[in-house]
Amino acid sequence: MDYKKRYEEWLNSSIIDDLTKEELRNIKDEEEIKDRFYKDLEFGTAGLRGIVGAGTNRMNEYVIAKTSQGFANTIINHGKEAVEKGIVIAHDVRFMSKEFTEISARVFAANGIKTYLFDGIRPTPMLSYAVRYLNTISGIVVTASHNPKQYNGYKVYWEEGSQILDNIADEILDEISKLDFKDVKKMDYNEAIEKGLIEILDDKLDKSYYKDTLNKAINDDIDKDINVVYTPLNGTGNIPVRHVLKERGFTNINVVAEQENPDPTFATVGYPNPEFVEAFEYAQKYAEKIDADLVVATDPDCDRVAMLAREEKGKYYVFNGNQIGALLIYYILNGLNDKNQIPENGAIVKSIVTGDLGKVIAESLNVKCYQTLTGFKNICSLPNIWDNNKEANFIFGYEESIGYVYGDHVRDKDGVVSSMMIVEMAAFYKKQGKSLVDVLYEIYNKYGFHKEHLMSIVLEGIEGSNRILRMMKYFRESEFNEFADLKVTESIDFKNGYKDIGASNVLIYHLEDGSWFAVRPSGTEPKIKLYIYANDKDEKIADEKVEKIKKDVLEKLYSVE
């Protein structure tokens, strides 16, 4: 349908409220109207994510309600037992998160599906835990994770506690496609509570989550006075991360005051993604002031975590996601091994665009490394399978974009347990007289210098989206024989799947010296991502390899207009 026709339909609809219509009438830029209405906000395996505002290509109460009705119909299609199990919904600190949560709950209640709600903001991993704890058929967390302030999202989980895969996403999308706004059922919020169709959870679930998280601790012979700066970046991590660190006995956790409390504007950070060092500005200044050993930051929904560690007074080393993952694998697996607690058929899982150092460490300790497509919906799909076939015992999952989970009480990346393990790890090595930078180089000297460069080319809007498509088409259709004077030994296109790994819009090129790189469009943001990896016994040579590959690949990408 033409975007202008959709725009007019909203203005003339008896369902759309007057404030929303006024917002639309005040838009004078034709391109803005086009961007809001040229398509429906896409529902995929990550659910919904988009800019908050009026329009079919925006996050608003009408899109949320229609999506929830389609989801409710899907649950009903799965039978009486699915309906009776109900659904649990959590939300973060963002604009409209609470409102979208209540609208969704009202829709599910109107469809006879019991809905559990938290009494306030919660981290995404607690939603994953809640699905398993309550034995619901599904769960939703209203969040846009680390996106800028103007975004929000609607992330969907299934009964195992992990994000939905294509099969369920396709069912929901099919049901949504059959609906108009007039088809949406809603029950009054207070009426739904009175009828027991909406239930506000008490603190038993929180306590159970904390207990299971604290049970993942490995060592207690550590320096519990380690000096740590923590920032939740004005998100959901403040209470849960500080709680578990306090319960673990850490006595010197210093929180960045300006970023302690919820703030949907993220005024002190702008782009609240700790994957980028800019997000550490306030935390690093505070760390320098108090000479902290370690700086930890979680993103707004507290499923990702990143860190800095002191090299010398006033100087901090910035770890990337691959390095943090390798350090955690090294610490956790060696800790379990020392206690003879590595399970039989122990396994870790990483994404196909995550570096190989964690895999090398795991295999040196007889722990198998499995690979999946990008995203924790895929990483956690394997332990879901292993629950039934007992092929492997899941220990740890991670990807380069600062997502980690240790243990199987949560089936998604978990910034709470990961923060606890990072602080424990740093405290363990500090007692041995080592910083985490020392330990990283200990790993490099043992396993080789695994170096990487990860970057994103941001291309917004309709034209940006089309240019990303042209970039991927150009690489697919060009039979490249070499990059940076290194022969291509294998090029893998995951478009139709590869071996036992499913289909995705990803290209990976393996080069003759063991280096490799990948290109893929982001599934949640307007960008194309480039991942480059090289390994050598000499650090300088490894870094040079990365730079040469980067230069060559970027020239080819930017040549596409």
Question: What letter does residue 486 receive in the DSSP assignment?
Answer: E
* Active-site residue flag, 478: no
* Residue with tokens 């700790």, as numbered in its chain: 274
Q: Of 50, 209, 185, which is closest to residue 105 (Cα–Cα)?
A: 185
Bridge partners, residue 530, by sequence = 455, 519
Asked whether 352 and 506 are in contact (CB, 8 A), the reply is yes
CA distance 537 to 447: 8
Q: Of 331, 305, 116, 351, which is closest to residue 219 (Cα–Cα)?
A: 331
Is residue 117 classed exposed, middle or buried when 0-12, 13-18 and 19+ CB atoms within 10 A define those classes? buried
Asked whether 137 and 82 are in contact (CB, 8 A), the reply is yes
Q: Of 387, 392, 344, which is closest to residue 370 (Cα–Cα)?
A: 392
Q: Which of 68, 145, 351, 504 is an active site residue?
A: 145
CA distance 205 to 28: 48
Q: Is 337 helix (H, G, I), strand (E, B) or coil?
A: helix
220: left (phi over 0), alpha (psi -120 to 50) or beta: alpha
Q: Is 488 helix (H, G, I), strand (E, B) or coil?
A: strand
**Encoded amino acid at 223, one letter:** D
Q: Of 391, 318, 390, 394, which is closest to residue 350 (Cα–Cα)?
A: 394
Work out whether strand 482-483 and strand 486-493 pair parallel, antiparallel, or are unpaired: antiparallel
Question: Which helix (H) or strand (E) segment is 446 a member of?
Answer: helix 436-447
* Residue with tokens 């003879």, as numbered in its chain: 340
* Helices H / strands E in the chain, number of each: 20, 21
Taking the CA atoms of residue 364, residue 542, residue 398 and residue 224 in that order, the dihedral angle to the nearest 10 degrees is 80
Evaluated on CA atoms 332, 338, 341, 343, the torsion sign reads positive
Output the six-digit token pair for 121: 């903001």
Question: What letter does residue 40 receive in the DSSP assignment?
Answer: P
CA distance 234 to 200: 24
Bridge partners, residue 501, by sequence = 498
Active site residues: 145
